[in-house]
Amino acid sequence: MQSLPIDEALPRLTAALAERDAVVLVAPPGAGKSTRVPLMLAQQAWAKDRKILVLEPRRLAARAAADRMAKTLGESVGELVGYRVRFGSKVSRKTRVEVVTEGIFTNMILDDPSLEGIAAVLFDEFHERSLDADLGLALARDAQQGLRPDLKLLVMSATLDGARVARLLGDAPVITSEGRAFPVETRYVPRDPGKYVETHIADVVERALRAETGSVLVFLPGAAEIRRTETLLRERALGPAVDLVPLFGALEAEAQDRAIAPAPLGHRKVVLATSIAETSLTIESVRIVIDSGLARVPRYEPDIGFTRLETVRVSRAAADQRRGRAGRTEPGICYRLWDEAQTGSLEAFARPEILAADLSGLVLDLAEWGVTDPDSLAFLDPPPRAALTEARTLLRELGAIDADNRITDEGRALRALPLPPRLARMVIDAARRGAGRLAADVALVLTERGLGGSDTDLGHRLDQLRRDRSRRAEEVRRMARRWAESVPETPATSDEPSPGAILALAYPDRVAKNRGDGRFLLANGRGAIIDPTSPLAREPFLAVAEVAGSATRGRI
């Protein structure tokens, strides 16, 4: 078995977990923690043939981690090591290490607070601080202290302030593993003012391919930038031995797997990726990273009730994560597309999602847990009071919680659908109008990014989804059918409502009136714009699900 940097820390980690119920592990990218640690824990006496749960922030990371561990054992995924994600699972009665996404774990623990048959829960890449990870840790700690004193909790990260998490977990020991698998040289190549990001990246990719050996991993903020960069690079005729492959969340699982697979013999890969490639992935043969220094993150605007996507500078921790991708399998090089002096001005860590998110789903989950005040749970950063107040107001309007913030029967019906509360309410109300299946399709198009294309017109995206014969689309349609069938439906007495009418059930405050020239006024008092050449710009009213851009000038 290949030696990895994490190996030297395993005896200390084993000893700490034998004595304590919670431990923090800090190890740099490429150390091997996602592969080695779960398998080691499954062998401990305290595990007693129970499962080790491993939480990953994304589906791709979950599948990749399970695949690497299974290969280490010389087995197929679904035997000793399996995974469970939203659109699929590979587990069996033999499975002892199960890799799941953070959202799957939230549902698991809410359905079974005692986590029967689980020996330990590992929170991998916790530094990403997703809302589901923070909630999952708070619930797991509460279950451990009240129901399962024998449950082990392990928080793992490459760039985490371990001392803070250790205090949250009752002064848990912090185990540190030093050293990256291979050294990485950093080169700064700032972009000239006025030069497009994609053009600069294409130039640096060409330079790197000429000057260095190995494959290339490029970090861009989103799928649109990836597609534009891909077009530029294809125009430059890099040669038949250079394979261009995109990697982002909306891709089919098979396309994602191809992106992280080794390049064919005699070929080099240029992987154009979003932040999805920062964590728990080893992309074979990559020894060059090109980092735009940008990421696209959701930001909730409480005063307008919208979650918008914002392009931001990455944190120093994220930049280090990206840099570490170059040293996974051999010495590497990282090109950073900014001035070296700017690195010091980057935020140390990304802003936790709990401080910038719509908290209606979290509040509903807490109500299901029996908690009306989040201060009673172990949150690393407490949910902001203003966001909690707004979430409670919305949930009362939806009938999901009562005046004392306790969950209602209607709230439990909303929770039974794995959707944000507004969209769950939409599906239930539409079913009462005989349009449950249409509403389920709308909900999936809105929650599965990239599904049905990127057209602003929801009706066009639904049409494309229905024509799509890909495996992902087939899985999504099956899920929509299950959702619709799980909700009591009243037979339709009239024509099926339009997608816009269905959307208005979820967002009555976002019905927008046309003011001319592509300008719209939303029912909540805010303005938004749309491309004046779009056919939608001529509609007298629109139902709006998403806006991009600034809070003061949102783009539909």
Q: Which two tokens stand for residue 284?
A: 């074979």
Instruction: Give per-residue pLDDT as tens, 147-172.
Output: 999 999 999 987 777 889 999 999 99
pLDDT at 291: 98
Instruction: Check: CB of residue 327 under 8 Å from CB of residue 183.
Output: yes
Domains 5-176 and 184-353 in one fold: yes
pLDDT at 451: 77
Provide CB contacts within 8 A for 138, sequence distance 6+. 374, 377, 378, 379
Instruction: Check: CB of residue 314 under 8 Å from CB of residue 350.
Output: yes
Instruction: Give per-residue pLDDT as tens, 12-47.
Output: 999 999 999 999 999 887 788 899 999 999 999 999
Residues 337 and 323: their CA atoms lie apart, in Å, by: 12
Instruction: Check: CB of residue 247 under 8 Å from CB of residue 277.
Output: yes
- Map out the domains of the chain as residue ranges: 5-176, 184-353, 507-556
Instruction: Give per-residue pLDDT as tens, 101-113.
Output: 999 999 999 999 9
Roughly how many angstroms between the first and final C-alpha of the chain, as a whole number?
A: 53
pLDDT at 281: 75
Q: What is the pTM of this model?
A: 0.90
Class at the top of the CATH hierarchy for domain 5-176:
alpha beta
Provide CB contacts within 8 A for 117, sequence distance 6+. 50, 51
CATH 3.30.420.40 fits 184-353, yes or no: no
Angle in degrees, CA 51, 137, 449, rounded to 5: 90
Angle in degrees, CA 75, 30, 120, rounded to 5: 60
Q: Which two tokens stand for residue 330?
A: 């051999």
Counting other chains too, the contacts that 146-150 makes at CB distance below 8 Å and 24 or more residues apart are 147/113, 147/114, 148/114, 148/115, 149/21, 150/21, 150/46, 150/119
pLDDT at 306: 67
How large a percentage of the chain has pLDDT more than 70?
A: 97
Spans of the chain, pLDDT less than 70: 1, 179-181, 280, 302-306, 492-494, 548-553
Angle in degrees, CA 130, 57, 105, rounded to 5: 90
**H helix runs in 212-358, sequence order:** 223-235, 253-260, 316-324, 340-343
Identify the CA nearest to 337 among candidates 125, 193, 482. 193
